[in-house]
Structure 1
Amino acid sequence: MPQLSAAQYGKDNIRVYKVHRDEKAGTQDVVEMTVCVLLQGEIETSYTEADNHNVVATDTMKQTTYIIAKQHPVNPPELFASILADHFTATYPHIHIASVKVKQHRWTRMTVDGQPHPHSFMRDGSETRNVEAVSSKADGLYVRSAIAGLLVLKSTGSAFHGFYRNEYTSLAEVQDRILSTEVDCGWKWNTFKTLKDVESTVPKFDEAWKNARQITLELFAKEESPSVQNTMYKMCEEILKLVPEVKAVDYSLPNKHYFEIGEQHRTRLRSLDCADILVDLSWHKGLKNTGKDAEVYAPQSDPNGLIQCTVSR
């Protein structure tokens, strides 16, 4: 006999923009977010019996998000997501778990005539600051913070060699290569018992985000990387060291490749997993663009390596 073994529903892609006006300073600050709300609880009859009496409408979730954004701070996003998630489990007895995901988009204040402009901003890349807060009647509040969509590249200072080889291996060992990736880094906070515990941690959320971002960028840039695996492990170690309230750190780093265009304009995939392959231009009057003369590369989107890890205390 079939049975409903898992169910949740909600509202995704809720776009929220909030402006904070500092009348005394004559400046404004802006926050833009994309929010997803998902609920679990005593909702099975809406699936199995077409009985909607326990269904909190997804439009209600959207309107609630706007009201909470009006009545409460939206920064740091960890606090806003926790307030919103806690609202649903506190307001509706039959809702046992509420998950709120917040994606905060980057708006950076413009500099005009050498001074920060009071109310003008620019979209500073595709990087987002992400948060997931899960409120559970049984377990408290779980919060995961993250950096996503941070695209980085180093033109040297990365190697990959000494890996396992057999008859299926064609990849050449490389002592120096281009390394490019799109950073997805997350850190899980120790579980909070109540919303008040989240509120008491507010100063640490921004600090942890700044530390995680700085560690990621500095280690990526400075280290003579023997592998993506080893570099991401060191990043996790450093974040755990600096943020004692965090219990686990995870990274997901896909390789962004640069392939060689070979003779007669054909693509030569001499090293599918190595990002320093270049454009062979020797067919054109002996033009040198390989080895020490390499300057022009051909970026490719797939297939790509994907390296992930989680480091816990």
Structure 2
Amino acid sequence: MPLIKNRYGKGRVRVMRIHREGDRHEVSQLDVKAMIEGDFARAYTNADNSTSVSTDTIKNVVNIVARQNTGLCTEEFCQVLAKKYLDTYPQIASVAITAHETKWSRLSFGGKPHPHSFVLDSNGKPTVDVSQIRGGAAVMSSGIDGFTFMKSTQSGWENYVKDAYTTIPPTGDRMCATSMVASWKWSGKPASYPATNKKILDTLLEVFATTYSMSVQDSLYRMGEAALAAAPEISEISMACPNMHFILMNLSAFGLDNNNDVFLPTDEPHGQIECTVGRG
């Protein structure tokens, strides 16, 4: 029976590129699918892999091209990637590249764009919780669910417990990203709930973006302190922040360095950091 058609490749190749122009960073997070067609029929019909390129190699080429081209837009990156496969493997007749981009928008404070802090586009769902018993006063909290933000530098993780089970190395410069669930409890009525909610969220982001983070725990506490200072109408604020990990890719096998330029985005498993900050 004839083999009518075949192709193969690698899907869900996730990569985060950081392009630096002085202190200003540009970020590009992609989910890439690379599919190839060509002289591969014998792997199907004759159990002969002699012309086949491993799917792991296909993935490695994505990462190599990412490291060599941190500043290209997605369209240009995909064109360079397709050409790389064709130039490298003569048995490939055609390449199909599909890339989905996770869009990050640059934060601004005081009208000035921040060089390395971002929020996810189409971000977060505002929440309200109200409880009241008959004859009693209503207890209400507002908040936001799934609000995602990131900075590409100015975060570290050092001086923690190290024992026989510890494998993570210390670092004074890492990416820091989270999808936060936060709520704040009202103790008084503000002049405007929407305006005060915005002020709280803006305050949280500004502390996160503009100060060095010794840990997510360190940032969360200081963010909570600042929110309480900015909004006297709330009595406490609770935040739950799962880490969105960006793992530095080791490209030394390909003769390439990686000075915090190319990362593997992953959120499983993730660190889960939570705290509540209230008035004394």
Task: Pick the TM interval, shorter chain.
Answer: 0.5 to 0.7
Q: Does 1:142 align with 2:139?
A: yes
Unaligned runs of 5+ in 1: 1-123, 193-200, 260-277
TM-score (norm 2): 0.53
Residue deviations 1:50-84 (CA, integer Å, cap 9, x gap): xxxxxxxxxxxxxxxxxxxxxxxxxxxxxxxxxxx
CA distance in 2, matches of 1:254, 1:135: 31
CA distance in 2, matches of 1:155, 1:186: 26
After the TM superposition, list the runs of 4 or more consecutive aligned residues in structure 1 that deviate by more than 3 angstroms. none
AA of the residue aligned to 2:198: K
Contact 1:279-1:289 at 8 Å conserved across structures: no
AA of the residue aligned to 2:172: Q
Match of 1:235 in 2: 223
CA distance in 1, matches of 2:252, 2:217: 35
CA distance in 1, matches of 2:160, 2:231: 33
CA distance in 2, matches of 1:158, 1:168: 23
CA distance in 2, matches of 1:216, 1:239: 6
| SS in structure 2 at match of 1:206 | helix
Match of 2:211 in 1: 223
Change (3 A) 1:310 1:176: same
Aligned counterpart in structure 2 of residue 159 of structure 1, from 132, 137, 156 = 156
CA distance in 1, matches of 2:136, 2:253: 66
Q: Does 1:125 align with 2:122?
A: yes
CA distance in 2, matches of 1:207, 1:258: 33
AA of the residue aligned to 2:159: G
How many residues in Structure 1 have an aligned counterpart in Structure 2?
159
AA of the residue aligned to 1:295: D
How much has 1:233 moved relative to structure 2? 0.6
How much has 1:145 moved relative to structure 2? 0.5
Instruction: Indicate the RMSD between aligned Cα atoms, in angstroms.
Output: 1.7
How much has 1:208 moved relative to structure 2? 1.9
Q: Does 1:254 align with 2:242?
A: yes
Contact 2:207-2:226 at 8 Å conserved across structures: no
Q: Does 1:185 align with 2:182?
A: yes
AA of the residue aligned to 2:164: E
AA of the residue aligned to 1:283: A
How much has 1:309 moved relative to structure 2? 0.4
CA distance in 2, matches of 1:155, 1:163: 22
CA distance in 1, matches of 2:252, 2:171: 22
Match of 1:175 in 2: 172
Residue deviations 1:133-175 (CA, integer Å, cap 9, x gap): 1121143201011022111111100011111222222221111
Contact 1:289-1:296 at 8 Å conserved across structures: no
How much has 1:219 moved relative to structure 2? 1.0
Change (3 A) 1:168 1:139: farther
In the TM superposition, 1:50-129 aligns within 5 A as 125-129=122-126
How much has 1:202 moved relative to structure 2? 5.8
